[in-house]
């Protein structure tokens, strides 16, 4: 049974699939403090949050069983990603489910600031019929600057065109071709600031975007601009904005987000007649909350069940076409890593992975993570290492990872070779997927073999002498170790050779010692593959 803690208000319908899963127990416990979370998180395999819960390093440290933190929404700035990665906790978000809702909120804010709707409402319900103070402006024929042309920014631009606005957009990933295709003008921040009548920001908050609109931009801004922020507090410098409004540069602003949420009671936005605010409601519609909760619950289920998943924030995404190519190799890669770690003695210094055949033509980074996981988990424990933290843990331990690619693969469509160099020795294992047969180890050091990488194996290196196979069989039989399959590899008759035996259960240490005391036998190692 896996336990999932939901620590923010998340749509019931959205998490229904978790509640109904017979291998999952869901506890809903919103509004906990950090200390309260620390006290209980140790029981849980997954944590589901929106933006209120701050998932700190302390919480993750206490979450000994925690495998995944799911964010029902886009921004993950409430989650300590570094701490999650260090501990191998996968962080996923639901990037698509609230795009339209947030775009529509942006529009609501833009129209509200253009027509003073909140201010007019307050006066009207207060008993004053004032039609003079609230003369607004049209959107038609105005220029809208969109900073951040991702999911939400692009939808905003699309709708703004329908309102007859001219759009200037800035995004470091935006090309002239794409701008032309969606009918906007690609511009710099500076151009937008100088030319736009309305400006809306849709970037994440990063060191680069923090205060990207500040004093310097207000100084050159087109007078009368109206500004909307439904992305993240801090992209626009709040203090500089208030000054710019008071100086008559900015005509009005509409903010859904704040540098600190909730804002302090004396925050200058809250009493300013030209600033309208909402309490981070961008994603708050029934539809969006269902969408994001459904998306994130689905991925949490996949992760807990060890199935392929999407939308991990702390590891690079695997494109769908690549996922289908690489997925079959993940298990093989991890087994090769585990095999080589168990067969090589000494402190790991270097892992050299060679991809040949078709694999040499694709981005194999995701597969490398599995191989490194296989190597490290032998030393650090299966629970400690996963594909999120395997590369990070290797780096922390100064393990050098070398990737080699060769398009030619002599005997196989694809071949994955893993060499492990330690202070003491170096060994190699290579594997492939055989159509209709599954994963196979096809080479150990210089010896060609054909071994199914599973179960309890004994890897023996010996001198190729008549009778040795029989003597090994007899010794194991006398010790009640039953041999299921056996593979022998050698290069030259009478030279050095290896034997790989699959046995039905674990081999006691003293039996391995007895094997190595046989004169023709050099080493005998037990290798256990899941």
Ligand X SMILES: NC(=O)C1=CN([C@@H]2O[C@H](COP(=O)(O)OP(=O)(O)OC[C@H]3O[C@@H](n4cnc5c(N)ncnc54)[C@H](O)[C@@H]3O)[C@@H](O)[C@H]2O)C=CC1
Q: Which residues are catalytic?
A: 232, 261, 280
How many residues bind ligand AKG, per CB under 6 A? 10
CA dist 136 and 142 (Å) reads 13
**Spatial CA neighbour of 363 closest among 321, 333, 409:** 321
Stretch that binds ligand AKG, among 72-80, 221-229, 328-336, 479-487 (CB under 6 A): 72-80
Find residue 167's DSSP bridge partners.
144
CA dist 140 and 304 (Å) reads 50
Stretch that binds ligand X, among 165-173, 294-302, 361-369, 465-473 (CB under 6 A): 165-173
**Spatial CA neighbour of 396 closest among 407, 410, 385:** 385
Closest approach of ligand X to the CB of residue 373, in Å: 28
SS3 (DSSP) at 69 = strand
Task: At 355, list the tokens.
Answer: 């991809």
Find the binder of ligand X among 142, 280, 427, 440 (CB under 6 A). 280
CB contact at 8 A, 345 and 422: yes
- Check residue 93 for interaction with ligand X (CB under 6 A): no
| 505: exposed, middle or buried (Cβ count in 10 Å: 0-12, 13-18, 19+) | exposed
**Spatial CA neighbour of 280 closest among 508, 51, 504:** 51
Closest approach of ligand X to the CB of residue 209, in Å: 5
Token pair 């307050």 is found at 122
- What distance lies between CA 267 and its chain's CA centroid? 35
Find the binder of ligand X among 7, 99, 338, 354 (CB under 6 A). 99
CA dist 419 and 220 (Å) reads 59
CA dist 417 and 419 (Å) reads 7
**Spatial CA neighbour of 308 closest among 370, 355, 372:** 370
Closest approach of ligand X to the CB of residue 184, in Å: 13
- Check residue 284 for interaction with ligand AKG (CB under 6 A): yes
Find the binder of ligand X among 75, 234, 366, 489 (CB under 6 A). 75
Q: Which residue is nearest to ligand X (CB)?
A: 150
CB contact at 8 A, 524 and 495: no
Find the binder of ligand X among 23, 131, 140, 172 (CB under 6 A). 172
364's CB contacts (< 8 A; 6+ apart) are 326, 353, 355, 403, 405
Find the binder of ligand X among 14, 70, 88, 95 (CB under 6 A). 95
Instruction: Return the number of other C-beta atoms located less than 10 Å from residue 2's C-beta.
Output: 20
- Check residue 171 for interaction with ligand X (CB under 6 A): yes
Closest approach of ligand AKG to the CB of residue 50, in Å: 3
Closest approach of ligand AKG to the CB of residue 208, in Å: 18
String marking each residue 26-65 x if it binds ligand X according to CB under 6 A: ----------------------------------------
| 408: exposed, middle or buried (Cβ count in 10 Å: 0-12, 13-18, 19+) | exposed
Find the binder of ligand AKG among 227, 251, 277, 283 (CB under 6 A). 283
Stretch that binds ligand AKG, among 11-19, 26-34, 67-75, 510-518 (CB under 6 A): 67-75
Closer to ligand X at the Cβ: 95 or 366?
95
**Spatial CA neighbour of 148 closest among 200, 75, 106, 113:** 200
131's CB contacts (< 8 A; 6+ apart) are none
168 binds, among ligand AKG, ligand X, none (CB under 5 to 8 A by kind): none
- Check residue 11 for interaction with ligand X (CB under 6 A): no
Q: Which residue is nearest to ligand AKG (CB)?
A: 73
How many residues bind ligand X, per CB under 6 A? 32
Find the binder of ligand AKG among 70, 73, 153, 366 (CB under 6 A). 73
Q: How far apart are the first and last CA of the chain?
A: 21
Task: At 504, list the tokens.
Answer: 């039905």
- Burial string for 434-452 (b: 16+ CB within 10 Å, else e) reads eeeeebbbbbbbebebebb
CA dist 230 and 240 (Å) reads 18
Find the binder of ligand X among 70, 88, 145, 150 (CB under 6 A). 150
Closest approach of ligand AKG to the CB of residue 41, in Å: 20
50 binds, among ligand X, ligand AKG, none (CB under 5 to 8 A by kind): ligand AKG
SS3 (DSSP) at 379 = helix
Token pair 């395997």 is found at 390
- Check residue 74 for interaction with ligand X (CB under 6 A): yes
- Check residue 302 for interaction with ligand X (CB under 6 A): no
Stretch that binds ligand AKG, among 70-78, 259-267, 447-455, 489-497 (CB under 6 A): 70-78
Find the binder of ligand X among 23, 129, 131, 173 (CB under 6 A). 173
- Check residue 153 for interaction with ligand X (CB under 6 A): yes
Closer to ligand X at the Cβ: 148 or 374?
148
CA dist 187 and 288 (Å) reads 31
Closest approach of ligand AKG to the CB of residue 130, in Å: 34
Q: How far is CA 230 from CA 22, 99, 202, 205, 417, in A?
A: 39, 11, 7, 12, 49
Closest approach of ligand AKG to the CB of residue 117, in Å: 22
Closest approach of ligand AKG to the CB of residue 189, in Å: 22
Closer to ligand AKG at the Cβ: 75 or 431?
75
- Check residue 386 for interaction with ligand AKG (CB under 6 A): no
Q: Which residues bind ligand AKG (CB under 6 A)?
A: 50-51, 73-75, 98, 280, 282-284
Q: Which residues bind ligand X (CB under 6 A)?
A: 73-75, 95, 98-99, 102, 147-153, 170-173, 202-204, 208-209, 212, 230-232, 256-257, 280, 282-283
């Amino acid at each position: 049974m896996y336990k999932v803690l939901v620590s923010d208000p998340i749509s019931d319908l959205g998490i229904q699939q978790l509640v109904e899963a017979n291998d999952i127990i869901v506890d809903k416990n919103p509004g906990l403090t950090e200390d309260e979370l620390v006290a209980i998180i140790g029981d849980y395999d997954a944590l589901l949050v929106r933006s209120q819960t701050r998932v700190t390093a302390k919480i993750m440290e206490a979450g000994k069983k925690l495998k995944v933190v799911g964010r029902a929404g886009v921004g993950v700035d409430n989650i300590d990603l570094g701490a999650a990665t260090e501990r191998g906790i996968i962080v996923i978000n639901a990037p698509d489910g609230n795009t339209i809702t947030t775009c529509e909120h942006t529009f609501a804010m833009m129209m509200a600031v253009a027509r003073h709707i909140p201010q007019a409402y307050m006066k009207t319900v207060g008993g004053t019929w004032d039609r003079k103070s609230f003369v607004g402006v049209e959107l038609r024929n105005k220029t809208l600057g969109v900073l951040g042309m991702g999911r939400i920014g692009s939808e905003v631009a699309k709708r703004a065109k329908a309102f007859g606005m001219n759009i200037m957009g800035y995004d470091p990933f935006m090309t002239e071709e794409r701008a032309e295709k969606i009918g906007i003008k690609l511009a710099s921040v500076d151009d937008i600031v100088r030319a736009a009548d309305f400006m809306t920001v849709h970037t994440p908050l990063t060191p680069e975007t923090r205060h990207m609109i500040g004093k310097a931009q207000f100084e050159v801004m087109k007078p009368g601009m109206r500004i909307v922020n439904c992305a993240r507090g801090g992209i626009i410098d709040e203090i500089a904005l208030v000054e710019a409004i008071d100086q008559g540069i900015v005509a009005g602003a509409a903010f859904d987000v704040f540098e600190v949420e909730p804002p302090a009671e004396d925050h200058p936005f809250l009493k300013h007649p030209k600033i309208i605010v909402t309490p981070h409601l961008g994603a708050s519609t029934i539809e969006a909350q269902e969408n994001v909760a459904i998306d994130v619950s689905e991925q949490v289920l996949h992760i807990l069940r060890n199935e392929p998943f999407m939308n991990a924030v702390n590891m690079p995404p695997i494109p769908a076409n690549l996922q289908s190519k690489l997925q079959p190799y993940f298990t093989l890669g991890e087994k090769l890593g585990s095999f080589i770690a168990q067969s090589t003695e000494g402190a790991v210094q270097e892992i050299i992975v060679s991809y040949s055949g078709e694999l040499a033509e694709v981005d194999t980074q995701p597969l490398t993570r599995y191989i490194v996981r296989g190597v490290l988990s032998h030393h650090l424990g299966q629970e400690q290492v996963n594909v999120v933290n395997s590369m990070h843990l290797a780096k922390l331990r100064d393990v050098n990872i070398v990737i080699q690619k060769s398009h030619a693969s002599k005997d196989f469509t694809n071949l994955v070779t893993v060499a492990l160099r330690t202070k003491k020795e170096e060994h190699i294992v290579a594997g492939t997927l055989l159509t209709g047969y599954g994963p196979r180890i096809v080479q150990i050091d210089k010896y060609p073999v054909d071994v199914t990488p599973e179960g309890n194996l004994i890897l023996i290196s010996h001198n190729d002498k008549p009778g040795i196979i029989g003597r090994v069989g007899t010794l194991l039989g006398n010790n009640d170790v039953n041999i299921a399959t056996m593979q022998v590899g050698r290069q030259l008759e009478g030279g050095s050779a290896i034997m790989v035996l699959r046995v039905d259960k674990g081999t006691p240490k003293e039996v391995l010692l007895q094997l190595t005391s046989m004169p023709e036998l050099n080493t005998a190692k037990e290798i256990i593959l899941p």
